[in-house]
Amino acid sequence: MSRPLTVSRLRKRYSETPVIGGLDLEVAPSEIVAVVGPSGCGKSTLLRLIAGLDTRYSGEIRVDDALVCGPDPRVGMVFQEPRLFPWLSLAQNVGFGLRERNGRKARDLVDETLGVVGLSTFADALPKQLSGGMAQRAALARALVTEPQVLLLDEPFSSLDAFTRMRLQDHLLTAWTRYRPTLVLVTHDLDEAVYLADRVILLSDRPARVADVLRVAPDRPRDRRDPSLLGLRVALLEALHLERSQLDAAV
């Protein structure tokens, strides 16, 4: 069986500054991996490299066993901002990445995906008519409609209020249940990490390496008030502090 995503000995530097310093990561099919770490540690850089947006790195990134050397239809991405095209309707935005954008089949795919994120009635709306949460759901639909094997999410809910964020996390799980992509989610929100992920990867401060890995019990649906999730959150917080203090000691 092929592996949807393998990262090995990944190194990346911006001019003289090493950002990622030998990172290994292997993700199983349909697994949800959350990546957390100190801010500025290179989490977003990691996603950009996996997405093929930046190909100047050393080491290996393989998607579906193929070496990443540029953007790949098997990899989708949701950014921190919705990044919808303001001149396109919601349906046109969602269909943006489809190879065949016109015709019955495309329309059906778009409609179905809009349904999954609960936006069926807004197919013809313009982005300016949407709230932040709706726009981000549309962005999620746009990433899902091409059915990527690997879906990368770069702090996708960080600019939303707490209530909308929780709803979107559930939308994401619904979509994941329907499409079963492998998810790599970069987040600052430890509750979000333990609520969504099968595995939480803690990165060290720059240059990023895997500092710690926490497994979450695989049962779903999860209860946000579950004490074991809260326990994991505390463990993560402590690990993050440890990272911080080691860094401070080194300085």
Q: Which one of 19-27, 30-38, 123-131, 156-164 is the stretch in contact with other proteins (CB under 8 A)?
A: 123-131
What are the phi and psi torsion angles at 247 (to 5°)? -65, -45
Q: Is 106 left (phi over 0), alpha (psi -120 to 50) or beta?
A: alpha
Verify binding: residue 70, other proteins, rule CB under 8 A: yes
Verify binding: residue 128, other proteins, rule CB under 8 A: yes
Select 68 or 232, whichever has its Cβ closest to other proteins: 68
Closest CA to 243 of 212, 199, 213, 197: 212
Out of 35, 36, 41, 75, which residue is the one contacting other proteins (CB under 8 A)?
A: 75
Q: Smallest distance, Å, CB 169 to other proteins?
A: 21
Verify binding: residue 55, other proteins, rule CB under 8 A: no
Tell me the three state secondary structure of residue 135: helix
Interacting residues of 129 by C-beta distance below 8 A, sequence separation 6+: 122
Q: Smallest distance, Å, CB 160 to other proteins?
A: 15
Could you count the other beta carbons within 10 Å of the beta carbon of residue 241?
10
Q: Smallest distance, Å, CB 93 to other proteins?
A: 10
Verify binding: residue 79, other proteins, rule CB under 8 A: yes
Give, as one character, the DSSP assignment of residue 209. Answer: -
23 half-sphere exposure, CB direction, 13 A CA radius: 36
Q: Smallest distance, Å, CB 151 to other proteins?
A: 11
Verify binding: residue 71, other proteins, rule CB under 8 A: yes
Which residues, 88 to 107, sit near other proteins by CB under 8 A? Answer: 88, 96-97
Cα separations in angstroms, 120 against 33, 91, 123, 136, 175: 29, 9, 6, 14, 14
Q: Smallest distance, Å, CB 92 to other proteins?
A: 10
Give, as one character, the DSSP assignment of residue 122. Answer: G
Which residues, 162 to 201, sit near other proteins by CB under 8 A? Answer: none
Q: Smallest distance, Å, CB 118 to other proteins?
A: 14
Contacting positions for other proteins (CB under 8 A): 51, 53, 70-73, 75-77, 79, 81, 83, 85-88, 96-97, 122, 125-131, 146
